[in-house]
Amino acid sequence: MTRVLVDVPHMIAGHCGSGSLRDLLAWSGLGYGDGPPSEALVFALSGGLAFQYLRLERDTPPIYLVGRTGDLELAACRRLGIDVEVRRSDDAEEGWRLVADELDAGRPVMINADILALPYLRVTLSNTRHSLLVTGYDDDAGVAYLLDNDRAELQEVPLDVLDRARSTDGFPDPPRYATYPMRFPDELPHLREVARAACADAVTHLESGTGLFPDGTLAGVLTEATGTTGVRTFVDDLAAWDDVLSEEEQRAGLRALRVFIEKAGTGTGMFRRLQADGLREAGERTGDESLLAAAGAWRLAADAWSALAAATADGLADAVAAADELPALEARALEATRVAGGA
């Protein structure tokens, strides 16, 4: 029988993907300056900031809101020179072997799992695209050792429970034992060049309307809005909730807005605060004033999103009023990011 445990420096993080990558960079010994990059810097360097709003036929909750692209983790790896390949399987034995092979070689590995099936998380909604690290296992005890952005301590999870979390049919799609083996470079690429390229990609995502889910991925979509221009559509649709949603659906929608903006692994402020803090760190390390200006613009947008989240507790009318400034702030942040990207 085998027991394997890889020592990985871990910190609680605002978002699962950027938090897992921060931990892996800390384990690899890579960084800018005297330590690993912060989670916020990892997020900003991914170029994965986005916007997507969906109003759905289902009523629990009737909406979905997200501020990142679907390939954020892969994009961050490519930009930082990390060799990564997503491996999937429909076979449980092979799915575990994808993980165990990495651990047996002394390497922690990132996976996707459904948060609803993870026993240490207190959630009520499924999300099969949750990223976390497996750092070890014990055959005799029948457990795996996990690091999750939402928990400070190493988590012991029975292997059969982890198997269910990696093979569920939950929302939005089956994870199919998704595993991300990575090979790290000797050093990271030049920070200013990486940050500018990430800004250019973020502009592309926000202008083209790239979201977490491609068009047609989800059934029962009544209204969809993406990208910077979609923020105005979202604000207008929010104002129309009084006409299209029942009182119960409105309450559920407002609760969901608060969660999607502040609680659902966004780093608060709909990922905008991570973007702002990451660009600020990049600007301070490189002396690039355009990165600092973009950071300030995204900070204002993040604060406005957080104000909207707070206003949901007071009812729909207050939420609509709080949301009114979002389109202008997002547009200004987009333009500042365009400059930072070298356009």
Instruction: Give me the count of residues in the chain.
Output: 343
- What pLDDT, on a 0 to 100 scale, did the predictor assign at position 214? 74
- What pLDDT, on a 0 to 100 scale, did the predictor assign at position 122? 87
Q: Confidence band (pLDDT; 50, 70, 90) for 75? A: very high
Q: Confidence band (pLDDT; 50, 70, 90) for 213? A: confident
Beta bridge partners of 109: 134
State yes or no: pLDDT of 196 exceeds 70: yes
pLDDT tens-place string over residues 214-245: 766 777 888 999 999 999 999 999 999 999 99
List the domain boundaries for the chain: 3-36+83-183, 191-340
Q: Confidence band (pLDDT; 50, 70, 90) for 310? A: very high
Question: What number is the average pLDDT over the span 135-151?
Answer: 97
**Sign of the dihedral defined by the CA atoms of residues 145, 120, 162, 90, in that order:** negative
> Which bin fits 315, alpha (ψ -120 to 50), beta or left (φ > 0)?
left
pLDDT tens-place string over residues 8-54: 999 999 999 999 999 999 999 999 988 899 999 999 999 999 999 99
- What pLDDT, on a 0 to 100 scale, did the predictor assign at position 19? 98
